[in-house]
Structure 1
Amino acid sequence: MKKLWFFLLLLIFSALMVACSEEDASDAGEKIETSGKAGNKEDGFSGEITVWAHPFTGDQEVEGKMWKEIISSYEETTGVKVNFEQIPWANRDQKVLTALAANNGPDVFYAIPDQMPQYAEAGMLLDLNPYLKDNDMEDFVESALVSTTWKDKVYGLPILQEAYTFLYNVDIIKEIGEDPSKLPATWAEFEKWAEKAKEKGYYASSFQGGGSMNGTLYPYLWQAGGEVLTADNEVMINSDAGVEAFEFINKMYKNEWIPKDSITALEHDALWDSSKMLSVQGSGASISRMLSKDTFEFVIAPPLKNKKQVTYGTTGMFVVPINSENPDAAAEFVKIMTSAENQRKFNQVTQYIPTRESAKDIFGEQKYLAQLATYTEFAMPGVIHPEGRNIMPLIQAELQTMMEGKKTPKEAADAAAEAIKGKVK
């Protein structure tokens, strides 16, 4: 308990310094009124709970209707009143932590993979394992449960998932003499296509070196069979597999398969849109954007494989804080919220991929999203560790230094390992 409160006090002090001019988290959200009333149903639930989530679309009218339907299904089943508040994405950590420390926070809130292990390690989240015996956990995509689990305890249930992979320009594929129905499956095959694209004056792909490591180094590191660090703080980024990933990225940059600004770029949409790039890394949002533009034909490739076939894809989940005054009802909300029926409602509106296999039928006629949904089994949610977010800038700095030619891949990987050790030990 001392560890919990010490951790909270440090974070809250930092949060208040950053957000001292912001409104209190307890009333920062937009409330959605529902018609449910507290009652006593057959399962013995009663009272009320407060749920916090974020805006997931630009159409708040449609999204609000979706929330009302889901919340009503819960209230009718349990008799528990839901007070729903939509809070902004900005400064969400500060809002949640400040409210929880004051015992004025939600009973359920939305979390992402780099938040969950921080909260769990500090003893802030309720272990959901005792509530899951009747929840058909086999229906969840296995990779989606990775981000909800910390040290063998399940602290959340996933509602949405993504999978990043390569989209290819069909016209350029044909121009380089390849077949759009036989896309690269391995690093070696990709390299052959990359050389052909360069010979024809195209970049082979995008690389957002100024963005998250989830979309740059990590997928190649996982494909090489490596990992960044373990839950027990063993740093693995400079293993042979890690160095191989650094080498592959360095090769792409030196051979000019990726643009010159890849060291700091945040996106390469303009190059892709103007047909100067063979492929681009993307997800569901990328597909939706391409379909809205309707500029050229594209195809989607499965995630690449070296030693392993794996890619990045975030997972969104709902969790219950340990100090919820109605934990049984809160846990039941998380279960009902992530049921197949409600996952269909939520993900039809948000256009994310359901984390239950049985709910993926929502993409029936949408061939691109239906195809992308089959790749979530390969999607890792990032580095699941309390320091996962904090070590990213340290790794990024070394990766950029290597691309600038100031360090070899081995030197960059070793320097990244030392920087990580300084954070976790």
Structure 2
Amino acid sequence: MRNKKYSPYRLFLCLLLCAFIIFGPFYFIENRPENKVEDVKETKWRGVITLWDYPHLDVKNGTRFGWILGKIKKFERENPGVYIELKPLDLKTGPYEIETAIKTKTYPDIAPVGADFTVIHQNILEPVDSYLTKEELNDYRPQSLAAVRYNGKIWGFPCMMTTYTMFLNLDLFHEKGVNPPKDGNWTYDEFVNTLKELTYDKDGDGENDIYGFNSFIGENDYNTWGILLSDGAKIFDKNLVYKFYDKKAVSGLKKLTDLKLKYKVTPKNFGQNTEREAWESFYKEKKVAVYPTGTWAVNVLNKLRNEGKGFEFAIANYPIGKKGTPVSICKNTSAYGIFKQEDKEKLNMCVKFLKFISQEKYQKELYRLGAFPVKKSVGEIYKNDRIMSTIEKNLVYTQNIPHHPNWLKIEGILQSQIRQVLLEEKSIQDAINDAKRKIMTYNEIAKKMNRK
């Protein structure tokens, strides 16, 4: 029999067919519709994207918006014809400005509302699940992902994490021969006894001028809530029914207000003072030994100390109550949400921008803001910073603010009642009862309004 000779072209086609038979099924399995992730790299869209954002103090240049502006410039260079228009928000008035913009339908394309459930509940954000691969989702810290997840969907791109902690003026501790809490943990009784020792009359005029503790009461600020919730009180149950009126709530509020009214370890104006007055009493006037605030303060205090204007400081957890562990509550995850878009290509570009600013190399720069990465792959960015490394380990004790659609109003009612107790205008029980009545009434009215 004569041997057949095959042309190189025919041989190539045979090999190609064999390869398709072997590897083809894997391709179709991997590219089934449910595994499809939107590709935003090749979008040709050009135009203006509006971004509203809160300030983040940048220790590198001392600016409040320098970090995000730097990322905007780089993104615009890499995407000619795309412009990110930044509108700065104030920390105090920003939530109300966003609320007004939603009511008047004048909201931006992007805002830091991806973990804000007062916004998520209104169904005005774009779900972004289809833009995140399984690998990307698995890379997020569970806390950060939980902050943007609702009804089985992802509503924003987490960018950074933070928390509240207690800052200690070690110079005042050492001056009085008082030891800071071992390993940063103390019970409420140990906490109070320490504050008593650090409250005294320094200049001999018969009036205390150094105080163990100071803080302030303000909306959107949760600096005292680690004490308020230390006995295990819950603001809502798992069904978001208001529950902050039981014995645990009463004892938590008593522990907070006793610092001023019973133990006298705070300045007399605690409860009516402003955030600025409280903060200055700690860092500038140096007359307060323990002050709770956000992790942004680490960079500020380090800078002051290095300039010879500050003091030696340390951090500690909130005092442990009947809950058995320290607790703090805050908006622990900063996440950007995208408001509903009519143009799919513009939506793709918004996603591309948010993925750009949260990529690994920029997550490693978060030390400039005193914040923590939301991605596990970034690793430890504070290996050489004992204080921030300790705070990062303590993130497990931080609760995110409740996922209630009326939280902004509810929190305002609670803060008002706390303030009235501190000013001796109400008893603890009256404040708890009044808060319950007002909050439940408001929730009923809001529910009826939503039905219309």
Whether TM-score is above 0.5 comes out as yes
Helix, strand or coil at the partner of 2:314: strand
Answer yes or no: is 1:86 the counterpart of 2:104.
no
Helix, strand or coil at the partner of 2:85: strand
Which amino acid is the alignment partner of residue 190 of structure 1?
A: F
RMSD across aligned C-alpha pairs, in angstroms?
A: 3.2
**d(CA) in 1 for partners of 2:232, 2:289:** 26
**d(CA) in 1 for partners of 2:41, 2:245:** 52
2:242 is aligned to 235
1:394 is aligned to 413
Shift of 1:63: 4.8
Q: Answer with 153-162 or 54-63: which moved more.
A: 54-63
Aligned mate of 1:302, from 307, 310, 317 = 317
C-alpha spacing 1:66/1:296, structure 2 compared with 1 (3 Å): same
Q: Verify the 8 A CA contact 1:193 1:204 in the aligned structure 2.
A: yes
Aligned mate of 1:97, from 91, 98, 102 = 102
Q: Verify the 8 A CA contact 2:71 2:357 in the aligned structure 1.
A: no
Which amino acid is the alignment partner of residue 199 of structure 2?
A: K
1:197 is aligned to 198
2:437 is aligned to 418
Answer yes or no: is 1:269 the counterpart of 2:259.
no
Q: Verify the 8 A CA contact 1:174 1:180 in the aligned structure 2.
A: no
1:283 is aligned to 294
- TM-score, normalised to structure 1, is 0.76
2:170 is aligned to 170
Deviations 1:154-197 (A, max 9, x none): 21121122211111122332344433462443323212212322
**d(CA) in 1 for partners of 2:242, 2:66:** 46
Deviations 1:84-103 (A, max 9, x none): 1101215641685378x37x
Helix, strand or coil at the partner of 2:420: helix
Shift of 1:253: 1.5
Shift of 1:421: 0.8
**d(CA) in 1 for partners of 2:417, 2:103:** 34
2:158 is aligned to 158
2:71 is aligned to 66
1:334 is aligned to 354
C-alpha spacing 1:67/1:166, structure 2 compared with 1 (3 Å): same
Deviations 1:113-171 (A, max 9, x none): 4xx21222111012223433434334333333343233443211211222111111223
Unaligned runs of 5+ in 1: 1-39
Helix, strand or coil at the partner of 1:179: coil
Unaligned runs of 5+ in 2: 1-37, 58-62, 202-207, 445-452
**d(CA) in 1 for partners of 2:230, 2:190:** 14
Q: Verify the 8 A CA contact 1:186 1:305 in the aligned structure 2.
A: yes
C-alpha spacing 1:378/1:137, structure 2 compared with 1 (3 Å): farther
Shift of 1:70: 4.8
Shift of 1:62: 6.3
Q: Verify the 8 A CA contact 2:76 2:83 in the aligned structure 1.
A: no
Q: What does 1:372-391 align with in structure 2 at a 5 Å threshold?
A: 372-391=391-410
Which amino acid is the alignment partner of residue 195 of structure 1?
A: K
Q: Verify the 8 A CA contact 1:210 1:265 in the aligned structure 2.
A: no
Which entry has the higher C-alpha Rg, 1 or 2?
Answer: 2
1:37 is aligned to none
Q: Verify the 8 A CA contact 2:228 2:256 in the aligned structure 1.
A: no
2:142 is aligned to 142
Answer yes or no: is 1:117 the counterpart of 2:122.
no
C-alpha spacing 1:136/1:185, structure 2 compared with 1 (3 Å): farther
Shift of 1:43: 6.1
Q: Verify the 8 A CA contact 2:178 2:197 in the aligned structure 1.
A: no
Helix, strand or coil at the partner of 1:237: coil
